[in-house]
Amino acid sequence: MKNIVFLFLLILLACHSKKQEKINGELTQKVIHPRIYWTENPASHAIVSWTSLEEGAEHKVYYDTISHNDIKHYSLFTESASNGKITVRKEDLLSGAPSAYYHHTELEGLQSGKKYFFRFCSDNTCSPEYFFITAERNSQNLSVLYGGDSRVGEEDEEDNNPAAHATRKKMNKLIAKMLVQRPEIKALIHGADYAMDATWKHLYFWFNDHELTITPEGRVLPLIISRGNHDHEIGFTENFRLGKITEQNSDGYYYTTRLTDSIALITLNTETSMAGYQYKWLKKELPKARAANKWLLVQYHKPAYPAVKDFDREDFVRVRKYWVPLFEENRVDIALESDGHALKKTVPILKNKPDPKGIIYIGEGGLGVPQRNPHPERWYFTNGGHASSDHHVWLLDIAADSMKVKAFGANGEQILDFPLKSKYH
């Protein structure tokens, strides 16, 4: 009799475990937050990143140059190179952000200028199919978007969560719309300060909102990331990965992106030492990049020529003291800056004075963050410069010898438009 009872209990336990497995199986269906990061060689390499709500054992990206309905038909797959539990505190859970895991998979050996369809899977749960387009190595033309500061903003009337913000969503929808209208846009250069801080209660909602940049056809716009003063927490390094890059600067978040064979973007990090290793690296990198590229762009978070904050603030002084002389020496074509929460375009500046041969600094951050009132009376905005309080995203249309730079407001209206000649000779 005892044996029968024991057997019965065993069967009951097994059934319960099976049921539990199924419940867990349903939970693991959640693979969210698709994103692509471009680092040094976007013509042949990209990082596919996502979030899963269960740890899982196997994380893979299936990809191909043609679309497939079935996961089995993709000709290529790569195992995720970096997986881990996202640091989650009690207050993150209270905000509605669930416990989650990050995954970063490096796709290598990609073909230049190709459409890549992909799905990411954690165990047997796979995402819908998305696609992105790799950078075109041989092209002299390139269109990219630039914007920064997408942390907080007006609260969303449809969503009670304070971390979900209407203006940020609006800007993301605008980006998706622009991508549909202008499929030649290749990437979004992000000037940092993504969320209020890099804790999960903010990043989770930032990634949710970022999905709005995906077009209805499933096109994911690659991100070229930088690090800002609100991205210091561990959540940033967990969720924004550069993977394998040269110079061992992966944690430093400064690197050169070869957008095409003739266009390079140098991303710098204002949140680490500006005068140390990064300065040495920049001193070597800039002449090389200038010599090899018709167009040389730089981006970083804290501005050299601020539109809003105090001109003499020590971190801005440091950008002018250590980096700007190198930019000028190497004839950088344009500098992209964020942090201020305004829209700005300086006059060309050389040796801290207006000079037609100088560098134009644009940006200051308007991807959803509440806008501040800038100082248009500052010398670098008068006689050809611009400073206003407008949410915005920049479009850089780069051709062989000229670049068209445009700023679009939150409703898609064009606010600024100016041409630029390459300083390459």
Partner 1 sequence: MKLTIPAIFKISLSFLILGIFLQLLKGAAISSLLLMHVGFSDIQSLYVEKVFAISFLVLGIFSVWRPSQLNLFSLSLLILFISLTSFFAGGKHFSELSVFAHFTRIVLPLAYLYYLRKQLAICVWLLRLGIAFTFATHGWEALQANPVFIDYLIGFFQLRIQEHTASYMLIMVGIVDIVVAFCIWKVSNLWAIYWVVFWGFLTASLRVYDAGLENFSEFLVRTPNFCAGLLLLAIVRVFFNKSEVKRNLKTS
Q: Which residues contact 206 (CB under 8 A, 6 or more apart)?
A: 150, 151, 163, 168, 194, 195
Q: What is the DSSP string of 351-379?
A: TTEE-TTSBEEEE---SSSPPPP--TTST
Question: Considering beta carbons, is residue 295 or 316 the nearer one to partner 1?
Answer: 316
Q: How far apart are CA 61 and CA 74, in angstroms?
A: 10
Scored b (16 or more CB within 10 A) or e, 294-304 reads bbbbbbbbbbb
Q: Smallest gap, in angstroms, from Cβ of residue 390 to partner 1? A: 12
**What is the contact surface with partner 1 in residues (CB under 8 A)?**
151-152, 154-155, 196-197, 229-230, 232, 271-277, 279-280, 308-310, 312-315, 317-318, 321, 369-373, 389
Q: Smallest gap, in angstroms, from Cβ of residue 311 to partner 1? A: 8
Question: Considering beta carbons, is residue 77 or 322 the nearer one to partner 1?
Answer: 322
Q: Smallest gap, in angstroms, from Cβ of residue 203 to partner 1? A: 14
Question: Considering beta carbons, is residue 343 or 395 the nearer one to partner 1?
Answer: 343
Question: Considering beta carbons, is residue 162 or 384 the nearer one to partner 1?
Answer: 162
At residue 240, the 3 state secondary structure works out as coil
- Give the tokens for residue 211: 């999905």
Our CA angle for 196, 200, 203, nearest 5°, is 50
Question: Considering beta carbons, is residue 182 or 284 the nearer one to partner 1?
Answer: 284
Q: Smallest gap, in angstroms, from Cβ of residue 237 to partner 1? A: 15
Q: Smallest gap, in angstroms, from Cβ of residue 12 to partner 1? A: 51
Question: Considering beta carbons, is residue 24 or 373 the nearer one to partner 1?
Answer: 373
Q: How far apart are CA 150 and CA 153, in angstroms?
A: 8
How far from 402 is each of 113, 267, 383, CA to CA, in Å?
A: 21, 22, 22
How far from 246 is each of 145, 206, 242, 273, 285, CA to CA, in Å?
A: 25, 29, 10, 19, 12
Q: Smallest gap, in angstroms, from Cβ of residue 229 to partner 1? A: 4
Q: Smallest gap, in angstroms, from Cβ of residue 149 to partner 1? A: 11
Question: Considering beta carbons, is residue 135 or 268 the nearer one to partner 1?
Answer: 268
